[in-house]
Amino acid sequence: MTAQLILLFFLFLLSAVFSATETAFTSLSLIQKQHLLEKGGRRALEVYRLTDKPDILLTTLLIGNNLANIGATALVTSLTIHLFGSQSVALITGVLTLFVLIFGEVTPKQIALARNEGICLNMAYPVYGLTILFRPFIWIISGISSLITRLFAGKEKKSFTLENLLQMVSLGENIGIVESYEQQMVKNVFRINDTPVKGITTYRTNVFCLDRESYVEEVLEEILEKGFSRIPVYQENPEHIVGIVLMHDVLKSLSSGEKEFKLKEKMVEPFFIPETRMVHDLFVHFKREKINIAIVLDEYGGLTGLVTKEDVIEEIFGELYDENEEKEADKIVQQASHEWLIQGDCSFYHIQDRIGLELKHDQRILTIGGYLIEKMGEIPEEGATLKLPEGSYIIGKVNQNRIEEVLFRKSSQQEH
How much is the pLDDT for 155?
61
Q: Over 80: is that where the pLDDT of 158 sits?
A: no
Q: Over 90: is that where the pLDDT of 295 sits?
A: yes
Handedness of CA 264, 267, 273, 278 (dihedral sign): negative
Q: Over 90: is that where the pLDDT of 129 sits?
A: yes
Overall average pLDDT of the 123-134 stretch? 92
Distances (CA, A) of 21 to 7, 18, 106: 21, 5, 13
How much is the pLDDT for 282?
92
Asked if 353 contacts 332 with a C-beta cutoff of 8 angstroms, the reply is no
Residues 239-290: pLDDT tens digits?
A: 999 999 999 898 888 888 887 889 999 899 999 999 989 999 999 999 888 8
Overall average pLDDT of the 96-115 stretch? 85
Handedness of CA 195, 307, 273, 377 (dihedral sign): positive
How much is the pLDDT for 415?
56
How much is the pLDDT for 87?
66
Question: Model confidence at 324, in pLDDT bands (50, 70, 90)?
Answer: low
| Cα–Cα dist 241/152, whole Å | 60
Overall average pLDDT of the 352-366 stretch? 77
Report the chain's mean pLDDT, rounded to a whole number. 85
How much is the pLDDT for 88?
64
How much is the pLDDT for 83?
67
| Cα–Cα dist 23/18, whole Å | 9
Distances (CA, A) of 407 to 334, 392, 397: 10, 8, 10
Name the least confident of 65-79, 163-177, 212-226, 311-325. 311-325
Question: Model confidence at 293, in pLDDT bands (50, 70, 90)?
Answer: very high
Question: Model confidence at 3, in pLDDT bands (50, 70, 90)?
Answer: confident
Overall average pLDDT of the 47-71 stretch? 89
